[in-house]
């Protein structure tokens, strides 16, 4: 793959839930190193767009390619591809009966074949990176929401995916913990990681994103640079959405 090729490419992707169209003929690509914020009203299809990338949601028509390879329906394709695309959820989904270090080591040992010692070293380095060097032996239930989300990010990074997807990573957090999680994501962005992030944190979007995608009713209404999006969005829906956020 050439580095200028898209790392993720949607071609005419369509999906419905029952009769409800949720993704309407989406054609879209992301380049390596891009930091993209996806926003839009509730129910507009943001999570579905993200989840369709690693087939947490199957699509009906069109294709999605990752690193130049169209992902087919075979389970082996999907598993190989899921290792290339890290996903961080709103709810952290850590295993409660495993320590922080064990949570991080699990996938690299089972899927990448790292030895326990190699995996533990990787976990220790990642915990340091997310500011939790002291928490390796703790169990998730003893950590704050912000700490759990940082562990979840470390766990995803342990697979060394070239792309990370975040679906509202701070929406389940108390306000005082939002900043610590956004700071970790911002560092990943600064390190050149390809990031797609659904978020309502518009301050973060403005400062960190290279590109903002605004969705409504299963369509992409804006796909532009943050300064354009925040000062002169072209669609009335985006103007209304921003006005609503400012009032909130
Ligand atoms: N599993 C499902 N079955 C049926 N309908 C669904 C399912 N998942 C999502 N939907 C519907 O599809 C539409 C898009 O949902 P999606 O979760 O992608 O929106 P969203 O933009 O992420 O919204 P939010 O901001 O609330 O997270 C919504 O109308 C939703 O109710
Ligand atoms: Mg959502």
Closest CA to 103 of 122, 123, 89: 123
User: Which ligand 1 atom sits nearest the alpha carbon of residue 51?
Assistant: 18
- Closest Cα to residue 102, out of 148, 164, 155? 155
Smallest Cα–Cα separation from 105: which of 96, 118, 94? 118
- Residue with CA closest to ligand 1 atom 25: 42
13-64 confidence digits (pLDDT tens): 999 999 999 999 999 999 999 999 999 999 999 999 999 998 899 999 999 9
Measured from the CB, is residue 155 less than 6 Å from ligand 1?
Answer: no
Task: Count CA within 13 A, CB hemisphere, residue 46.
Answer: 25
Packing angle, helices 175-190 and 145-157, rounded to 10:
20
Is residue 72's pLDDT more than 80?
A: no
**The tokens of 235 are what?**
């669609």
pLDDT tens-digit readout, 182-225:
999 999 999 999 999 999 999 999 999 999 999 999 999 999 99
pTM of the model: 0.95
| Secondary structure (3-state) at 94 | coil
């Amino acid at each position: 793959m050439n580095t200028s090729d898209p790392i993720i490419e949607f071609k005419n992707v369509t999906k419905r839930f029952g009769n409800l169209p949720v993704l309407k003929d989406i054609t879209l690509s992301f380049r390596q190193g891009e930091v993209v914020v996806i926003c839009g009203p509730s129910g507009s299809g943001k999570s579905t767009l993200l989840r369709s990338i690693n087939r947490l949601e199957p699509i009906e028509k069109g294709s999605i390619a990752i690193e130049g390879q169209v992902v087919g329906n075979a389970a082996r394709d999907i598993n190989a591809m899921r290792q290339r695309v890290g996903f961080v959820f709103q709810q952290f989904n850590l295993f409660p009966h495993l320590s922080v270090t064990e949570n991080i080591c699990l996938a690299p040992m089972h899927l990448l074949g790292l030895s326990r010692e190699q995996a533990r070293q990787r976990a220790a380095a990642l915990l340091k990176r997310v500011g939790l060097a002291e928490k390796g032996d703790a169990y998730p239930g003893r950590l704050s929401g912000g700490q759990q989300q940082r562990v979840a990010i470390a766990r995803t990074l342990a697979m060394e995916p070239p792309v990370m997807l975040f679906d509202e990573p701070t929406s389940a957090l108390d306000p005082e913990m939002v900043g610590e999680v956004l700071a970790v994501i911002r560092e990943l962005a600064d390190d050149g990681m390809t990031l797609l992030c659904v978020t309502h944190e518009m301050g973060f979007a403005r400062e960190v994103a290279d590109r903002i995608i605004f969705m409504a009713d299963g369509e992409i209404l804006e796909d532009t640079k943050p300064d354009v999006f925040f000062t002169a969005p072209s669609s009335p829906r985006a103007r209304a959405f921003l006005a609503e956020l400012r009032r909130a």
